[in-house]
């Protein structure tokens, strides 16, 4: 995003519309966008708040285009063809069949409007998880940005990018939940953003939560809010190549 200084009249109406606080008034009383903080979400442009149409969308080159793909719903990730944060998430397990009985899937929902996330912080989380051996979701765009899935390292050219939000996803076995939760708690102290944790499991045949999952969460003093997704047989697993 950029603001055409020749058009800008200094009304400052656009400033409240930036979720990252990237728009400020310069000494010349013209609005300007801090490119390091801007996540290319286009909220300022789409608000149509500028009375003189001074806010303009730029044609972005890679790797800056990564910011736009993670922040908007009208751009898709080239590798997954999914818009926004780029993952269909664990709610599609009835179609993808990612998680079997005994598996547990995790989503680390990093960043938020008004907060954002530097990809170097996402890398810290993924590298900590990679050290203890998790299986990252292959159809997730943040996985595609990795240089090495075994270490969780990101490609050098994207490490300094900043995005609205991203969701590292991975799976492991239920008995490893304590180790995963301890790792995430420890690495959370090293990052400068927020994240919420999602957990996906298959219920027991009687519809109850597996005891090992309940016990682990309760022992770790983690509050959880069960949300069910009922498969009525309308989805079928993706065909394997």
**Residues 73-99: tens digit of each pLDDT:** 777 787 677 777 767 677 777 777 888
Positive or negative torsion for Cα 15, 46, 195, 147: negative
Q: What is the pLDDT of residue 235?
A: 57
Q: What is the pLDDT of residue 238?
A: 60
What is the per-residue pLDDT across 192-224, written as a single tens digit (0 to 9) for each? 999 999 888 888 989 889 999 999 999 999 988
**CATH dotted code for 76-219:** 3.90.1170
Question: Could you give the C-alpha distances from 227 to 41, 166, 175, 224, in angstroms and in order?
Answer: 29, 21, 21, 9
Burial of 156 (0-12, 13-18, 19+ CB in 10 A): exposed
Q: Which two tokens stand for residue 5?
A: 């200084």
**Ranges of each domain in the chain:** 1-58, 76-219
Q: At residue 230, does pLDDT exceed 60?
A: no
- Is the bond preceding 9 in cis, omega lying within 30 degrees of 0? no
CATH class label, 1-58 = alpha beta
Tell me the sheet residues that pair with 146: 154
- Furthest C-alpha separation in the chain: 68
Q: Indicate the pLDDT class of residue 234, thresholds 50, 70 and 90.
A: low
Three-state secondary structure readout of 75-103: CECCCCCCECCCCCCHHHHHHHCCCCCCE
Q: What is the pLDDT of residue 134?
A: 96
Q: At residue 47, does pLDDT exceed 70?
A: yes
Average pLDDT over residues 181-200: 94
Question: CB under 8 Å to 185, separation ≥6 — which residues?
Answer: none
Higher-confidence position of 197 and 235: 197
Question: Do residues 176 and 106 touch, judged by C-beta distance below 8 A?
Answer: no
What is the per-residue pLDDT across 111-170, written as a single tens digit (0 to 9) for each? 987 899 999 999 999 999 999 999 999 888 999 999 999 999 999 999 999 999 999 999
What is d(CA 74, CA 20) in angstroms, rounded to the nearest whole number?
20
76-219 has the same fold as 1-58: no
What is the per-residue pLDDT across 9-20, written as a single tens digit (0 to 9) for each? 999 999 999 999
Q: What is the pLDDT of residue 156?
A: 96
What is the per-residue pLDDT across 109-123, written as a single tens digit (0 to 9) for each? 999 878 999 999 999
What is the per-residue pLDDT across 19-45, written as a single tens digit (0 to 9) for each? 999 999 999 999 999 999 999 999 999
């Amino acid at each position: 995003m950029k603001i055409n200084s020749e058009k800008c009249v200094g009304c400052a109406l656009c400033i409240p519309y930036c979720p990252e606080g990237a728009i400020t008034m310069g000494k010349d009383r013209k609005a300007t966008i801090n490119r390091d903080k801007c996540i290319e979400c286009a909220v300022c442009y789409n608000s149509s708040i500028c009375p003189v149409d001074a806010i303009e969308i730029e044609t972005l080159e890679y790797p800056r285009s990564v910011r736009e793909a993670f922040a908007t719903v009208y751009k898709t990730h080239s590798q997954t063809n999914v818009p926004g944060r780029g993952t269909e998430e664990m709610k599609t397990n009835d179609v993808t069949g990612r998680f079997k009985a005994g598996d547990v899937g995790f989503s680390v929902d990093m960043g938020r409007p008004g907060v954002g996330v530097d990809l170097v912080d996402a890398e810290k989380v993924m590298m900590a998880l990679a050290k203890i051996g998790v299986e990252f979701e292959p159809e997730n765009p943040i996985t595609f940005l990795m240089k090495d899935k075994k270490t969780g390292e990101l490609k050098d050219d994207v490490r300094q990018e900043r995005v609205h939000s991203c969701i590292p996803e991975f799976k492991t076995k239920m008995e490893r939940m304590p180790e995963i939760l301890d790792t995430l708690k420890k690495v959370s102290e090293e990052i400068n953003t927020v994240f919420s944790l999602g957990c996906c499991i298959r219920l027991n045949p009687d519809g109850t939560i597996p005891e090992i999952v309940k016990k682990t969460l309760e022992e770790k003093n983690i509050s959880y809010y069960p949300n069910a997704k009922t498969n009525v047989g309308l989805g079928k697993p993706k065909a394997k190549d």
